[in-house]
Amino acid sequence: MKLIKNIIPLLILIFLSNNVWSQANLLNAKSPSEIGKKNEKQLLADNDGPLPYGFVDDRDILWSKIVWEYIDLKERINLPLYYPTDSRNISSDRRSLFETLLTGINSGKITEVYSDDYFTQKLTSKQIASRLIRVDTADGGFAALNRNPNANIEEYIDRTNLTSHSVVGFEIKGVWYFDKRLGELKYRLLGIAPMAPDIQRIGRGGDPNEKIAVFWVYYPNARQILHDMKIFNPKNSAYPISFDHILNARRFNSIITREENIYGNRKIADYIRGNSLFQVLEAERIKDEIRNKELDMWNY
């Protein structure tokens, strides 16, 4: 009887959570324009937000290591971060991770955008735009401008935009640390960067397999918008998962590309050249070293 009493509140909580997370007013809407609009009771109960990080005192960190990882969007487990690549014919509450970050930057909700993974060189709006679009002008356009500087040469201009379809992966930077107060190994995500071919070099003789970090976003600054945008849940569409949850819970597959080290934080590919198998084995060695650190802390 006591077990039933404990289960009933849990079922009620799950039911209420589904109502909050699913598409609002879908079953009660009398017209498509009413879909997604919450009623007064839902608005009052909607205090949903990203789970705040707890304060960690520097003196409580017994050990830490910063690592960089690559998330390959071709892997099946990582597909929720990639799709949908075309958002023109889909509801506004479903976007890819890249488009969600881009929307946050354009709307001003994400302000900490940098060109490097050490967050030292902040990018302006104009600099970000130059990394997302390429403008090519045909020779006819230049000829028209030579004849008339005020001529309209729009028909001679070709614009190429970097879209979600072009993003092949994400690089993330995070820190593993052992919290001696809690007695456990924990992970904190610090930065995330979409990886794609350099749009300024596509079709101009560059390596088609080369990928660069389009920009680096300081992750704590992007948590709110990543929490607001949900990922499609194939097992239960009434209960989607937020990008913030899936990234903090590490519900993705990745491979370590480098760790902080005495050699200027060099990449694995810099000291193991031309052998992909050995590079993967080195990444697994680093991963095992981090995983075993928690066990080693309890050995006397």
231 within 8 A of 241, measured Cβ to Cβ: yes
Buried b or exposed e, range 32-52, using 16+ CB within 10 angstroms: eeeeeeeeeeeeeeeeeebee
Which amino acid, one-letter code, is at 156?
Y
pTM above 0.85, yes or no: no
Per-residue pLDDT 10s for the chain (300 aa) are 444 444 444 444 444 344 334 466 667 776 676 666 766 666 666 667 888 898 999 999 999 999 999 999 999 999 999 988 887 777 777 889 999 999 999 999 999 999 999 999 999 988 998 889 887 777 777 787 788 878 787 777 777 888 888 899 999 999 999 998 888 899 999 999 999 988 877 767 667 678 899 999 999 999 999 998 888 887 887 788 899 999 999 999 999 999 999 999 999 999 999 899 999 999 999 999 999 988 887 775
Q: Which residues pair with 175 in a beta bridge?
A: 66, 188
What's the rounded Cα separation, in Å, for the pair 26 and 70? 38
What's the rounded Cα separation, in Å, for the pair 166 and 132? 11
Q: What H or E segment, with its residue span, contains residue 207?
A: none
